Structure 1
Amino acid sequence: MASECVYVMESLFQHIYSLYHQRVYHAAQKVLRDAQLAEDAAQETFIKAYRNLDKLDDMAKAGAWLATIASRTAIDMLRKEGKRKFISMELASWELEQHYLEHIVIEEVELRETQQELERDIRELKPKLREVLALRYVNEMKESEIAASLSLPKATVKTRLYRAKAAVKQAKLQRERIEYV
């Protein structure tokens, strides 16, 4: 069981590495302006990421998470190596701001994609499940209010909500498995 967990974590990490290595390298390169140091920073970034992979709650934000680690690692390297004199504070500040804005745009796009996928998953639910889910989360009704408005027992509403959330979660997991492969 433990070896399976390690295998899954290593597979996940390899997947993250292959997806984001270039992005991490470029984030470090923007700060360091040195290819070799940027490669070192990228390597250090992935070591830190591997050690803290359990802290990543949302895979959709993995790229931004890694880029932030890379930028901070690169800044730390500048401090350690005394390379500050090669980069004016204004330039470094501007580049970090541009890098940050780039991540905000990427996160916004990823958020929209996730929202569209969620909406599609909800549309694919059975009408009874979709109805209680909409009443609960769109209309912000309590379970007792939903039960009264649909003339259903509260236990039925709870069951339908549970099944609807489970179906949406399953669709998301299935999609992630397909993307991972």
Structure 2
Amino acid sequence: MKRNSQNKTMTIINDQTYIDKTLNGDVNAFSYLIEKYKVMVFSLAMKMLKNKEEAEEIAQDTFIKAYKGLKKFNGESKFSTWLYKIAYRNCLDSLKKITRNYNTEAIDETNSNKIKETTDILESIERKERAKVMKACMEKLPEEERSILWSFYFEELSLNEITEVTGLSIANVKVKLHRGRKRLLSIVKRNVEPELIKHYGRK
């Protein structure tokens, strides 16, 4: 835990160094920040938009906005959180322009026994196969739930950081995390190949 805390502190210090250099006229210094966070921004855009070309455009626009608005970064949060917020809002703006019908499977019929059963199956599946299953099933979630789950479990943003990014209250984020996880497990239950469930369910 102490080492993780030290690493986060070093990251903040390193980021601020390059931010200061950029603000002082060293345009090349911003390239360090792009290189460091381009995967994070692109991954978020892909999860929300599910289109490579659109995600690339969002990522590019995110860094342009971050560069132009760098003076507004006051250091109250991590630079990565501030950047993530810009990317998240860019994705939402893009989604408003796109008409899509997402498969938002109902969770009303999902009870605790089914959740437990599905979790047991996932735990039995090999790590690599489980990752493929979860990735495919996450695509069926509504974009907001999908992005919040991704931020919390894969990007490892804290609840406070997610509230800053999304503008939602902590209570609301907790509700969406809970509902999103239940919906995701329900989707896994309904969409994983029957043969896979049958095979791993015996173990």
TM-score when normalising by structure 2: 0.43
Higher RCO by CA contacts (8 Å cutoff, separation 6 or greater):
2
TM-score when normalising by structure 1: 0.48
Rg larger for: 1
